[in-house]
Structures are given as structure tokens and as C-alpha cells.
Amino acid sequence: MTKKIFEWGKVQHLHLIGWAIFITLEIGLIGLSMGFFGKALNYALHYILNIILFYTNAHFVLKKSFTKPKPWTRIIILMIIQICLYIFFRSYLNYVLEGTHKGFNIPSIITNHKSFFQSLWRGLFFIVLSCFYYLFLRFKAERLKREHSERMEYLKDLKNKEMQNELHVAKYEYLRAQINPHLLFNTLSFLYDSVRKFNEDAGEAVLNLAELMRFSLETMESPEEFPKLEEELHQIDNLISLNKIRKDKEQYINLSFPEELKNFRFIPLVVITLLENMLKHGNLQKPNQPGLLDIKLSKNELSINTSNLINTRIHHSGFNKGMENIEKRLGLAYGDKFLLSYGKRDSNYFDVNLILKIYPAV
């Protein structure tokens, strides 16, 4: 409890200091001018009543009224009510503290003109102070709001400038990319013509690499229309053949996908990336335990599943990055309509499962 009071005091320290200075000055000046001071209890109870009026007017009457329609009518009515209540409670407080035997009632408050007008004056005084306090709060809130708006506008302008810079860089990279693929393909064509005369397998590898590179660089990915899977499935044979030549070993992979899948439009390079991960990180040299790439298409969903033995003799760096890239691209293309999971099975196999919900049905 003490800790909470201490924390409240830290938050409200300016209010406490302000009231302490005001009350001390007022009591001191009035007491010195009149030649005597009242009892501490009298001061405490009257100032508690004054402080209640001050904050009630600022945080309830004014603050709440300006959030409603016709605020001035509401303010005038509520101020009259709070002035009447203040006069009543202050008069009753004087009655109790004076300890007179006279009866206390509404007519006696009005007929005691001195006490009535003193109470009216004190009530109006603290209400006026409260109005200035409320205006200060409004000014402070408006200033913070304006500063926040200016800060958000500045951040917006900064973001727009960053986007403009990124756009300029992207345009430059695009123009540069128009040159690089032509240089690459021309070089690969030259190598193919030169190498196949001496080594037909090496020439075939260069040709497969050229087709894969052409597909990767020239396949357009548009949110309105993705390429047909037929184009990517055609590159699977090139990738497998290239990998066989590179490793000089037979690769055992079972491929399974229906004929109608070729016309299905799907974001490019997902299937090839999954196959590349199998070829790079999997053990595909066992004919009785081949890798599996299975693609199925139904009315409501497309499923792509891969499974392979884990090659424990190679470093698997870069695998997670490739899977994260696939997941990010799927999220951008399909939102929450897909489910991607991957991980070890029985400590020997690695499985990848991708399910894409199709709306409307194909």
C-alpha cells in the first residue's frame, strides 16, 4: 500500500507541489492580514472540498461535456448543479465545525448572506482556476497530437523517399539484368558447341544448365497469372540429369504427378527448389530407398510432398534459408491458403509437405 502511494506521489508530484504552494501562500497571507489563523482541521476539510470541486469541474464537467453534442448547454447546467452542491456542503461543513445549536436547512443557508456569498465566491474562484487548468490540458493534448501528426508525416515522407530510392535501384538493376542473361546464354551456347565435340556428357550438362538458367531468369511471376506447372516440370529432368553428371552417380528418385497438373498455374521455382534440396542434402544412391516427389491435384487442393533419406555426411547449411524463402513467397502469393511443414521422420528421412487450398475449385 505504501509503495502504491509513493508511486502515485511520483506521478502527481507537480500537482502536490502546486497545491502545497497555493495553500501555504493563501493561508499565510490571509492569516497575516487578519491577524489570526484558524484550526488545522478547518483548513484541511475546506481545502479537500475545494480540490474536489477543482478536479470534478475539469475532468468531469468540462472534459465529458465537450465530447457530447450541445456542450455549452450541458456545461451551464452541470456548473449550476456543482455550485449549488458546493455551497450546500461548505455551509454544512461550517455548521458542523462551528458547533452551533441552530438547525441546519436549505432556507438557513440562503438567509445567512455572509456565508452564502463567501461560499459562492470560493466556488466560482476554484471553478475559474479549474477552467484554466482544463484549457492547459487541452493545449498540451493538441500540441502532442500535432507533434505526433508531424512525426508520422515525416516518417511517411522518409518512407516515400526510401521507396523512390529503391525504385531507382530496381530500375537500374533491371536494365543491367537485361544485359547479363544474354551474355550468360551466349557464353553457354559457345561452351556447348565447343565441349560436345570432345565430351558429349559435358556438352549435355552445359545444355541442361542453359535451359535451367533460362527458365529461372525468364519465367515471369505475376499476381494476376502464374506460369503453368508444365514449364517447371519440364525442367525437373534437366536438373536430375545435370546432378547425375555432376556427381557421376545414379540418382534414384520416384516422380509422381497427374497429367492434368501441367495446365495448373502455380508460382514458379517452388518444385525445383524442393527437388534441388533433395539432390543436395539427401542420400539418393539406394535403389530400394529412393527419394520421392509426389504432386497431387484435387478439386479443393494441391499437395506437394517430398521424402528422402538424409545424407549425414554433408553440411546442411543453406537448407533452412531455402525453405524460408519458399514459405515467404507462398505467403505473398496465397496469403493463408497454404500449409507448409517439414522435418525429420524416424531420424533417417526428411519430409516436406505443402498443401494449397484452391478457391474456387479447379
Type of residue at 147: E
- Structure confidence at residue 240 (pLDDT): 79
Query: Is pLDDT of 362 > 50?
Result: no
More confident: 209 or 65:
65
Residues 6 or more apart whose Cβ sits within 8 Å of residue 314: 280, 281
pLDDT confidence bin for 325, thresholds 50/70/90: confident
> Is the dihedral angle over the CA atoms 203, 204, 207, 209 positive or is it negative?
negative
pLDDT tens digits, 9-40: 676 788 888 888 988 888 888 888 888 888 88
Q: Which helix (H) or strand (E) holds 69?
A: none
pLDDT confidence bin for 354, thresholds 50/70/90: very high
Closest CA to 342 of 357, 330, 359: 330
- Structure confidence at residue 242 (pLDDT): 74
- Structure confidence at residue 238 (pLDDT): 77
pLDDT tens digits, 217-244: 666 555 557 888 888 888 887 777 777 7
Residues 87/109, Cβ–Cβ less than 8 Å: yes
Residues 6 or more apart whose Cβ sits within 8 Å of residue 189: 210
How much of the chain exceeds pLDDT 90, in percent?
9
Q: In the chain, count H helices and then E strands.
A: 11, 6
Q: What does the DSSP assignment read for 237-257?
A: HHHHHHHHHHHTS---EEEE-
Which SS3 state, helix, strand or coil, does residue 100 take? Answer: coil
- Structure confidence at residue 221 (pLDDT): 56
pLDDT tens digits, 162-217: 887 777 666 655 555 554 555 555 555 656 666 666 666 666 666 666 666 666 66
Full-model pTM: 0.46
Residues 91/132, Cβ–Cβ less than 8 Å: no
- Structure confidence at residue 257 (pLDDT): 86
d(CA 243, CA 237) in angstroms, rounded, equals 10
Task: Tell me the CA distances in angstroms from 13 to 31, 52, 54, 140, 234, one per residue in order.
Answer: 27, 17, 17, 18, 75
Q: What does the DSSP assignment read for 260-280?
A: GGGG-B--TTHHHHHHHHHHH
pLDDT tens digits, 84-112: 999 888 888 888 887 766 677 777 777 78
Residues 6 or more apart whose Cβ sits within 8 Å of residue 350: 281, 282, 307, 308, 309, 310, 342, 343, 344
C-alpha cell belonging to residue 176: 543491367
